Amino acid sequence: MLGRSIITVGILFAVSPALAGELKPEEAKHFIAGKYFSYSCFEGSSGAGRVNADGSVAGTIQVRGAGPVHFVSLPTGTIRVQPDSICASVRGLPFQPCFAVNQTDAKSFRGSVSGLGFAYCDFTRRNPRLEVSASASSATRPQPVDTASMRMSISE
């Protein structure tokens, strides 16, 4: 089950919006390649990651929103942009799934398996550098050491 979820999410990473509505394959590729997205899927799985321009995928998944978070990477050429579709090529899968991509706002889109609109993931573009910076600045910082009082207590 984990394998199927990982494949579905990895494949859905391959698409993203540039304009409102359904995107053409080249528009989706241009918008998503190399960018970081968080996602949540219809069955509860969630995570974050990116699709690279070479069609490889790297990110995390928490299956059905519970249990451990797993790191996942799919090789070069997993996601393929064809003239009229975006599809995935996954060894061991008996068919080649393709996807519909619909923009939901300026930074978000829904990717669904073509012909199975109920099987979807919602993606939101993130900037991991800003998120790390924000979490670091909200952490408690160590207090400066009062060296004068330290010297007094040592000499007494």
Residues 39-76: tens digit of each pLDDT: 999 999 999 999 999 999 999 999 998 999 999 999 99
Domains of the chain: 2-129 (2.40.128)
The pTM assigned to this predicted structure is 0.69
User: Residue 39: CA atoms inside 13 Å, Cβ hemisphere, count?
Assistant: 37
pLDDT at 146 over 90: no
SS3 at position 80 = strand
| 32 has pLDDT over 50 | yes
At residue 37, the pLDDT reads 95
Residue 55 φ then ψ, to 5°: 85, 5
Chain-centroid distance of CA 118 in Å reads 20
Asked if residue 99 lies in contact with residue 111, where contact means CB atoms within 8 angstroms, the answer is yes
Q: Mean of the per-residue pLDDT values for the chain?
A: 77
